[in-house]
Structure 1
Amino acid sequence: MHGCNFHWGQAVFRKIQELGMQPGFQNDLGLNQYCKQILALAYLPGELIDPTLTELESEATIEGQQHLCAYVRQTWMEGSVWDPASWSSFYRAIRTNNDVEGWHRHLNSKAGRGQLNMYLLMRLLATEAALVCDNLTLLCESAVIRRQRKAARRNTQRLFKVWDELITKDKRARQTLRAVSKLLPI
């Protein structure tokens, strides 16, 4: 199981806001680039996240940056719930849980209402389970494709190019972080 990159970034960005750094994020290019590199940590391989965060910590010049690094370290690195490998989206084409949320929306629309009793829910899940084999066959035959906007597809291609440069040692972790931070939609 892997975390959702969107929700990870959202949690980190909320911390940026909580620390009062959003105006600086919007108006100060240096702070913007620094925060984007923190947000881009999730795009590195799990084993490179800690040493790269340590580098970023050593460059933190203002209190907000120091608190942001401490938050990432305490919550996402040293916390008992997640380890970096579980929230790293390195070399993953699918980096969010949008597919799961879409299936949940589909299930809710089939139910026609919320707050189903257990028996109706079981019947609905049994109907969905019966479709799993058919859906798997369609996926294996490439009869079903994942819809993705052109801009998102282009961004994913750029991301894989950056990742390939890290894998082939053409880029170091920090260079990869900078390149990825420029691809972030924020």
Structure 2
Amino acid sequence: MKQVPLAFCFMSRKRTDDYYEVLRAIDRLLPAQIALQTCVVDFEAGVWRAIQDRFPGTVIQGCVFHWTQALYRKIQELGLQRAYNERGDVHHFLRLVMALPFLPPEHIEGTYHYLDQRVQTDELNEFMDYVWRQWFRHPSFRVRNWSVYMLSVRTNNDLEGWHNRLNSRMNSRGPVPFYLLLLEMYKEATNIPLQARLLTEGKMQRIHRKRATEMNGQLFQAWKQYNDGLITTSQLLRACAELYGPVAN
């Protein structure tokens, strides 16, 4: 499923109230009330609370790419990156932890405890404590919100990529005057009707690299084997860990 930008907003703060006002403004501009069902976002608590307040009942799905990146930053912070890059036992253990979102949500916490019992170093113990505090006991980020089991849309990377390309184009020669940025955003906005029509007609698709396409196919194959009772939860976790995670240098 292709994701395209449909609204642009300049913000000077990132509080829950600020995000709420943005969502309310978008809602008021549309001819019909938004019937939002699912929203894929990164892990910014203020955004989550604003969505829940403005659109109660909406399923909020955390971006698995941002989830993994958060864990990888913690790995670097704790001095575990060298061990991760060596592709030994520590590498394989950390990959298993980073593959937790690919399990059914009801089996994630039990699998975490199983992995936690295998920890033998202070650094890994601190890492697992972080995972527990941030991802199992956070008041906003529930396990069901960051499990991507059987989901085809698992990230918001299309929009992240668009934003990065815009920044690269506009900031190539230093700070950009605000009026030039507005002109660039206007150009982007003129593309929206065409993009909407192409999406409706099924003529605009995500561009998948060969590796990503193969990985997605293998992932759904592993999920099917699990649903058919051919592999266990541990085997599913290992299969997903082999497919997904930051590349070791």
Instruction: For structure 1, list consecutive stretches of 5 or more residues without a partner in the other structure.
Output: none
Alpha-carbon RMSD: 2.8
Instruction: For structure 2, list consecutive stretches of 5 or more residues without a partner in the other structure.
Output: 1-38, 40-60
Task: Assess, with a 3 A threshold, how the Cα gap between structure 1 residues 115 and 71 changes in structure 2: closer, same or farther.
Answer: farther
Identity %: 32
Give the deviation of 1:135 after TM superposition.
3.2
The answer to whether 1:163 aligns with 2:203 is no
- In terms of mean alpha carbon deviation, does 14-23 or 69-78 score higher? 14-23
**Which of these residues, 130, 134, 141, is aligned with residue 71 of structure 1?**
130
Indicate the residue corresponding to 2:91 in structure 1: 32
Alignment of 1:45-60 (within 5 A): 45-60=104-119
The answer to whether 1:15 aligns with 2:48 is no
**Which of these residues, 156, 167, 178, is aligned with residue 238 of structure 2?**
178
Give the deviation of 1:126 after TM superposition.
8.3
Q: Which has a greater percent of helix?
A: 1
What amino acid maps onto 1:65 in structure 2?
L
The answer to whether 1:85 aligns with 2:144 is yes
What amino acid maps onto 1:159 in structure 2?
L
Task: Assess, with a 3 A threshold, how the Cα gap between structure 1 residues 177 and 114 changes in structure 2: closer, same or farther.
Answer: farther
Alignment of 1:92-171 (within 5 A): 92-104=151-163, 116=178, 134-171=194-231
Deviations 1:29-76 (A, max 9, x none): 111110100111121122221111011111112222222111111001
Give the deviation of 1:95 after TM superposition.
2.3
Task: Assess, with a 3 A threshold, how the Cα gap between structure 1 residues 135 and 13 changes in structure 2: closer, same or farther.
Answer: same
Give the deviation of 1:103 after TM superposition.
4.0
What amino acid maps onto 1:32 in structure 2?
H
Scaled by the length of structure 2, the TM-score of the pair is 0.63
Secondary structure of 2:99's aligned partner: helix
Scaled by the length of structure 1, the TM-score of the pair is 0.82
Task: Assess, with a 3 A threshold, how the Cα gap between structure 1 residues 145 and 47 changes in structure 2: closer, same or farther.
Answer: same
What amino acid maps onto 2:214 in structure 1?
R
Secondary structure of 1:59's aligned partner: coil
